[in-house]
Structure 1
Amino acid sequence: MPRRTLVGLCALLLCAPAAGAYAVEPGWAVAVVDQGSRRVLVLQSAEELMAYRGPDRLPVVWSWSADLAPDLADLGPATTWTSPDEAKSRIRGGRRFLLVTASGGLAAVVDTTTGATRWATDAGAAANPHSIELLPDGNVAVAASEGGWVRVYTASQGPRATAHAEFPLPGAHGVQWDRRTGLLWALGDDELTALRVGGTPAAPALTAVRAVPLPGRGGHDLAPVLAAPGRFWVSTLTALWQYDTAAGRFTPVRLADRAAERDLKSVGDEPGTGRLLTVAPEHTAPCDWCTSVLTFHRPGGTRVLRGTHLYKARWWGGGW
């Protein structure tokens, strides 16, 4: 397949509607990665968050930290859980799992009902793990930005399995399984790559089947467009895009505030409402890459969670 990028002529317009244009029921909760408290915090729904005025009490309904997980003591969370940077919800076999990574090296899959760790490893602080995905066979994919790789660990073989297949990808920041294509998609500094996971659960293999240059440098977040299966949200340093896997085309996304399209650490849409949730750093001390602000689009609005150092925010729902 030619290595080329097709940029759509028409942008997707995601501007805030007129007042009263949306009448929705409370939807999915919101999970945030708070580097300040070293916790994953599951918050109330967007509607409930918009009613939150704080700062007396954060609207937290559930939380998790590797610091408080006894079964992770062997992996030294005091150092490996430094700067947590990813939190995803996945549902398998009727159970919800929390998927996390941290720049300190930890990658883990946690059963949210029992709090037990299903699988975990220390990939090393030098690798800077940045995203994680649970595959259908129980194995786990991890993307590491400084390591410049995507790995599939044989998590199906045991809770501390470290054997893995590795694919080099400079600046690997995002990884997502797409059940429609049966491919593992990975986002790097300059390229979106589709990988076929072959071999066996005990001995996986990774082969690139598509490599698409990004329309801008600095790929950071990769997330499924839940309202349009077969598409991905892709954030770069200066813009927000959707990538259509069938058409092989990037389309720029236009927000009501053009500045809000830049330097996004995370992006995702809520099914049923069309609401978009983004997080971008404030570039202030003590955490230059963090923020205390959640930003919603369509309908628009922000919520300041005082005292937090947020890195990413995800909708807490679904079983894709």
Structure 2
Amino acid sequence: MMNPSSPQPGTAGAPVAAAAGDYKVAVTEQRTGQILVFDRNDPFTDHHVRWSFSTGNAPGWTHPFEVRFRDTRRYGAIALMTFGKPGEGRAGIVNVTAKNHLTRSDLLWTARITSYPHSIERVPHAGTVVVAGSRDRLHVFGPSSSDPATLKEVQTLTFTKAHAVLWDDQNALLWVTGGKVIRTYRVEGTLRAARLHRHGPDITIAGNGHDIQPDYARPGTLLVTDSHHVYSVDKARRAVRIVARMPYVKSYVRHARGQAMWTADPDIDDSVWGGSTVHFSSGGDRSRPGAQIYKARIYTTLFH
């Protein structure tokens, strides 16, 4: 069983070379209802799948939107995932190290989410799990112990078009984007007493906020996407600058070695939310014919 890659952050503000790296990439493949992990430099074919989670496209489990890998004391690496369609979705957690190919029978925890769940994150010190429902809310789940099976919803906050959540372990903040807003929250309390509280002024962006990722090449900054832009966000100064313009970008991240990776919707007029290609700034793109790839993630448990 593979271990999550651990890219080492570079120096904030230093020039970053776009070197092709050898790391693992997780994709959310919506046509087949799978999350698939590949080596970045391998073909993205069935033969080269290193790890997978398959839903069977069961009701509520269609269209994987998010996958995040996080460390826990109890299980080691876990995967947090969201799936679904408007009115019927799921959030779930699996033990990554259990075996190479998992299904819904391997879930440690799952919850029905009717607000079209697009993203999920775990706040480690609190044991809290936060799900962004892209219609209009944030769902906060707290456990009664270290067992994810004890998670239950303890708070619901209004957040129109909430699309992405990310924990910032450097500043102890939860970052959220949706609509034309980037917002931060403090997490106070632990387990089922954990609650989110708004912190600091909102940051305004031009389009519909879609994704938040660390910039592993520049600690202290985040990468945020909307319908037509990629932004670099200085976490300490809450300052935003545009680093790329591209249509309908769904996810964007930069490896510690400087290589950028992104996904986009090649045809906004169809009913599919992604394409068959994961794009890289160097070293060649990777395609999976017939796939509908929504997001691509660096396979790591690091927050920055």
TM-score of the superposed pair, with normalisation by structure 1: 0.79
Report the CA distance between 1:119 and its aligned residue: 2.2
Report the CA distance between 1:160 and its aligned residue: 5.2
- The match for 1:9 is none
193 and 79 in structure 1: CA distance in 2 versus 1, 3 angstrom threshold: same
Aligned-residue RMSD, C-alpha: 2.5
Unaligned runs of 5+ residues in structure 2 are: 1-12
Q: Deviations over 1:145-178 (max 9, x none)?
A: 11x1122201454515323212211100000111
Looking at structure 1, the residues matched to 254 and 116 of structure 2 have their Cα atoms a distance apart, in angstroms, of 26
Contact 1:119 1:155 in 2 (8 A): no
1:216-255 matches, within 5 Å, as 216-254=206-244
Q: Secondary structure at the match of 1:282?
A: coil
- The match for 2:3 is none
- The match for 1:6 is none
Looking at structure 1, the residues matched to 31 and 298 of structure 2 have their Cα atoms a distance apart, in angstroms, of 20
1:304-319 matches, within 5 Å, as 304-319=287-302
Q: Which has the higher helix share?
A: 1
TM-score of the superposed pair, with normalisation by structure 2: 0.83
1:268 aligns with 2:253: yes
225 and 151 in structure 1: CA distance in 2 versus 1, 3 angstrom threshold: same
- The match for 1:88 is 68
Report the CA distance between 1:133 and its aligned residue: 0.5
Report the CA distance between 1:91 and its aligned residue: 2.1
253 and 58 in structure 1: CA distance in 2 versus 1, 3 angstrom threshold: farther
Question: Counterpart of 1:65 in structure 2: which amino acid?
Answer: S
1:202-217 matches, within 5 Å, as 202-217=192-207
Report the CA distance between 1:284 and its aligned residue: 6.8
1:191-210 matches, within 5 Å, as 191-210=181-200
Report the CA distance between 1:285 and its aligned residue: 8.2
Q: Secondary structure at the match of 1:159?
A: helix
Unaligned runs of 5+ residues in structure 1 are: 1-11, 68-76
Query: What is the aligned counterpart of 1:112 among 89, 96, 103?
Result: 96
Range with greater deviation from structure 2 (151-160 or 224-233): 151-160
- The match for 1:33 is 28
- The match for 1:164 is 154
1:281 aligns with 2:261: no
- The match for 1:97 is 78
- The match for 1:141 is 130
Question: Counterpart of 2:192 in structure 1: which amino acid?
Answer: A
Looking at structure 2, the residues matched to 84 and 288 of structure 1 have their Cα atoms a distance apart, in angstroms, of 12
Contact 1:33 1:87 in 2 (8 A): yes
- The match for 1:70 is none
Mark the structure with the bigger radius of gyration.
Answer: 1
Looking at structure 2, the residues matched to 291 and 251 of structure 1 have their Cα atoms a distance apart, in angstroms, of 27
Looking at structure 1, the residues matched to 190 and 177 of structure 2 have their Cα atoms a distance apart, in angstroms, of 24
285 and 217 in structure 1: CA distance in 2 versus 1, 3 angstrom threshold: closer
Greater than 3 Å deviation, 4+ residue runs: 14-17, 155-158, 284-287
Report the CA distance between 1:318 and its aligned residue: 3.6
- The match for 2:8 is none
Looking at structure 1, the residues matched to 213 and 156 of structure 2 have their Cα atoms a distance apart, in angstroms, of 21
Contact 2:203 2:238 in 1 (8 A): no
Contact 1:129 1:145 in 2 (8 A): yes
Percent of pairs with identical residues: 29
Question: Counterpart of 1:100 in structure 2: which amino acid?
Answer: M
Contact 1:117 1:159 in 2 (8 A): no
Looking at structure 2, the residues matched to 87 and 223 of structure 1 have their Cα atoms a distance apart, in angstroms, of 12
1:291 aligns with 2:271: no
Question: Counterpart of 1:139 in structure 2: which amino acid?
Answer: T
Looking at structure 2, the residues matched to 170 and 177 of structure 1 have their Cα atoms a distance apart, in angstroms, of 19
Looking at structure 1, the residues matched to 22 and 92 of structure 2 have their Cα atoms a distance apart, in angstroms, of 27
Q: Secondary structure at the match of 2:291?
A: coil
